[in-house]
Structure 1
């Protein structure tokens, strides 16, 4: 069965000054499936966990004592231009809101990781540490496609406590979790839970999808955004980002469903943000759905592969001649609308693909400008097209 779309309302877990984060639910233009498996190379600072307990297991109290000093409170102020007709100079700067979130120290040089949405539009950033000292911070770089941002403070005079980065590939459902953050402005609050599910997919602030997301029932509330999700060995396995709510009026707190960006994603992003202030991502520009038994009623000629739903106009796939489905042929399958008539992608660079996750993984492994061989079936005939990947746009088309 093709996986159904996960449909609660998702909210960014940060505290806004009267400005809600808005619904962040939905799939990006690159993917319509809900799971993927990515295994990036280990990277970043690793530190021995602890000698307390067998196998490095620690109590929640042990974890808090060691890791809480490395968690920071982030205060972000945004301003907007006034629109008064008496402002002949084009509008005056006026405070709009103050938002608060969390983050954590990643090294001794003063680098701090948080969510991109926590610092979006910020004109004044302040970071408070466990010893109550506050420092002005600057944004080194942001990657909205993973909802991660890297900040920098002057480390002089600070006793920084970097958190150890774990390996999210080794995380299993049922593993204990600890979240430390600043829910509702209550600094360095600890909550506990377990890993509830793996390989979730949530929407990034720019409309693309974030894959391999960790779901936890540790209480995540507004203000927890950007804080660490920690395993039983005291290592960061994720960056808390969003929560599911019931969707009712005023329902912005934890209902036991929180989502964390996997730390292995952060390990890939941090060096690029340090070096360039941004992350360059390759872009194909298609949406599609994996062919399985749930699509049998459509009587497709292909029994496997990815049925292309749309090739974004003017995008790399469109330029290479890949065709999407006919919107007028859409039919409902497992609660989702599926269009027929489009190409079926069977292989990418010689490797068979069975889902959009496979296509996404192949694209993510390349850099913009790389050429990709895409094998398709069109009207039952095999073709091979060469696609030149481009830079991913700032926002997902139609997203």
Structure 2
């Protein structure tokens, strides 16, 4: 049986008729190499942003179910138009919605998670020598409603389909040549990375790298899907995201630091006057989880220094501040606590598998930031990541300072032709 590849094209890759035709040509070229092709397309250009703006023109609080009905249309348009272009090139293509492709999700509107992929219809279409185009970013819930997967969700669609049909590789075509050691918009001499492990890419995506969506990398690691992140604008190899074993097979020694990542989309929430009693932190985090608000860093002070009352601070995505405030308000009223928010926070992180065997990395990070008069508000670590919450307006100098301090610049820098990242923060 011939090999199978899933090709995903981001919004800038299909933004206008010329680019959409170029994507169609790449899909056809892959098919003419004897490979069976499933392609996943995002909405064109800024179409999703336009649809969101349309919703807020008619409602200050758009209903989540109806938002999913609205936002899912952008990807369907891309797929139908691309199918027309492929058919004109002499190949047979069919476009499918997420539900037609068998993508089953939970019932969390606007942030749904994939539960299952029933790919029988895709397999049948491939067996009939069709190129299959699937609308990204969407599925159908267990209650039979249209759902969307959150910003960047087309990456997750592509990886999930690759896992379901046993594809040899999932190619993510984007507006940059691959994954870089930092955002090239900030660091002019950032280096393109040839190979990154799943664990490194997970940490990079979670801490702000906008090339691949976090859940797509998590899904790829869990299902062993090899990702090739590459440019839509040329044929050169990009960055391969692979298992640690495959990275070792390529004789790739773990560098001390692989990349510096950042985010300006952080908000800090502080709860003042929490009772010092068991279960309070659990009630706070449960309220946020029930509202589908994801907590990143979390710290709590020593209540003994505050007369028996605790102060709890945590970070969440900036866009979730209103939702978090609404979720915490009943608890705040019940317990008599004060809720303070600051949505002008940023985060800078260093990621590298080599950190596991090299002491002194944290000391260097904190020293570099201190030498540049950058105040650290919160700290979070993992075996291969150190993240610091800092004021948003100090993110850029922090990234530059850390990138230089850890000697990550490269002479073989490849500059992206387009703004960095399909859904970069």
Normalising by structure 2, we get a TM-score of 0.24
- RCO comparison, higher one (Cα < 8 Å, 6+): 1
Normalising by structure 1, we get a TM-score of 0.25
More helix by share: 2
